[in-house]
A and B are shown apart, each in its own frame.
Chain A
């Protein structure tokens, strides 16, 4: 089932990407072409097949619960677009 314009806008909102109506319309037909390609999967019977989530089914390692990072607070903060008093600054969230 093709994606409607409203669905494209809903996905963009979920992804926090601003799209104009014109952009949404342009991307709508491209996404529908891509989903047509993806749709080829649906013809295959995958009943009872174990999903493969990783190249090789690796088991994740455990490590000691200890601090491994150095304090690089100033260095990392210096990369932020806006900062104040050692904190990342974002627009006011609570009125």
Chain B
């Protein structure tokens, strides 16, 4: 059961081979055994999870089920969840019990899924290693000396270690795809606007997008069916007719045009990652796809532009954490200004403080044009590169991350090195395009390599088709880490 696909779990529940309570207990026991060493979850509440499981079992008994009814799902602790502690990995929200549910949580609850727990993450989703969490770093199930990637590292590690059949994440510059790659699971960042941001604690609002992490593309399609959809409470939610993202899964890939950007295979790409991605491209050719060389000439500017835009939006979004309405407040202070200063100095970790300072500076008087406006113009150039590319190909494929997982602590002191992890994933966020990562082999120290697939706007069904056909021909996504030491 721990290795079963969502489709298999759904069938087992429908045929009463297992109840939702039994299934939830099974995963909770697995979490209890492994979380002490992997630190993938911040909050667990077996009583609440089991209450939902009992409700799901009643629903199943009545035959009123949806595909996710009774299935436990782990949620990134960035999605506010009614009556659950919701910390966003930060000390400043260490006492925040949410009075309402995020749209994504509402959707899973409505589908009858069970909340398995809240997963660990980089503080306010700012990081690529899940080391900046106030609640301690997450360990990579493939090797506990390594990071699982970030910021949705807890969700990726939970799926990789089979502590959860599926999980949610958010992706602002790669925070679903990069941890999926480094932890050997599948993850999808949808087109900007497809999944409501209501109740998803904001980092950079023009880039943030929620999405699923799971063991396979087929599972991702099922999860996206539940997550996607219009929500008037998110002003950038797109109004579209509901889709079944499974509808193209079984289409053959003959004639598929795969765009290969030369910029993503150059300097900085580790040899082991390049070899695994190269082998995946050959596999696609065997499946009937054609390789089309493309250029994304401005993609090298994506990291600089991102580190203006994302911190600027973050500085603005995080001004709400001031110790007045909710969250942590400093114990001692002289006056109101001193309360703000101390509350925010104590409540935010070093990386979050750093990004607030960058954002404050680039938005400050006299610097707006040179930084923020400049970055927005470069954002246009990067988006236009993709418009050109998609005239000649159906999907863009390359490596998700330049290297496999690095050691915990290896890049913690050097922010610029950390930021460059997201060099291949950031362009899709800036352009608002959907992107995904699926396992495509192993590199140094037997650590997983991720294959990055970017599609045109709202082409998730096509991307899932591409990924599913690859996963039917290969078994990288079925490999699981051996011998996790509890």
Contacts and interface: CB of A to CB of B under 8 A. Distances in A.
A56 B192 contact: yes
B376 A16 contact: no
B445 interface: no
A37 B311 CA distance: 14
B429 A31 contact: no
B376 A51 contact: yes
B307 A17 contact: no
A58 B377 CA distance: 16
Contact of B99 (A8, A39, A52, A75): A75
A44 B416 contact: no
A17 B357 contact: yes
Interface string B172-198: 000000000000000000011100000
Contact of A58 (B193, B348, B374): B193
Interface in B307-349: 307-308, 315, 319, 322-329, 333-342, 344-345, 348
B188 to A, nearest CB: 16
Nearest to A39: B304
B381 interface: yes
Nearest to A60: B235
B344 to A, nearest CB: 5
B416 A37 contact: yes
Given A51-B377, A55-B207, A92-B335, A41 B305 contact: yes
A55 B429 contact: yes
Interface string A55-94: 1101011010000000010011001111000001011110
A63 B237 CA distance: 14
Interface residues of B, number: 76
B interface: dominant SS: helix
A73 to B, nearest CB: 11
A25 to B, nearest CB: 13
Contact of A55 (B206, B301, B304, B361): B206
Contacts of A82: 329
B329 A81 contact: yes
Interface in B178-232: 191-193, 206-207, 209, 232
B255 to A, nearest CB: 28
A50 B378 CA distance: 9
Nearest to A46: B377
A80 B325 contact: yes
A17 B354 contact: no
Contacts, number: 168
A81 B356 contact: no
A21 to B, nearest CB: 13
Contacts of A14: 360, 364
A35 B350 CA distance: 17
B348 A38 contact: no
Contacts of B307: 34, 37-38
B359 to A, nearest CB: 8
B206 A54 contact: yes
B431 A41 contact: no
B457 interface: yes
B416 to A, nearest CB: 5
B31 interface: no
B364 A11 contact: yes
Contact of B336 (A38, A39, A90): A90
Contact of A49 (B99, B315, B328, B377): B377
B415 interface: yes
A18 to B, nearest CB: 4
Given A11-B364, A17-B353, A37-B304, A80 B326 contact: yes
B376 A30 contact: no
A27 B351 CA distance: 10
Contact of B325 (A36, A60, A88): A88
B46 interface: no
A16 B322 contact: yes
27 contacts: A11-B361, A17-B348, A27-B350, A27-B353, A27-B357, A34-B307, A37-B303, A37-B304, A37-B307, A38-B371, A41-B378, A42-B370, A44-B301, A50-B377, A52-B376, A53-B376, A54-B206, A55-B206, A55-B207, A55-B433, A56-B432, A75-B99, A79-B96, A79-B327, A90-B339, A91-B338, A91-B339
Given A17-B348, A18-B341, A53-B376, 7 more contacts: A16-B337, A41-B301, A41-B304, A44-B298, A49-B381, A54-B236, A76-B325
Interface of B: 96-97, 99, 191-193, 206-207, 209, 232, 235-236, 238, 298, 300-301, 303-305, 307-308, 315, 319, 322-329, 333-342, 344-345, 348, 350, 353-354, 356-358, 360-362, 364, 370-371, 373-381, 383, 414-416, 419, 429-433, 457
**3 closest pairs, A vs B, by CB?**
A55-B432, A55-B192, A51-B376
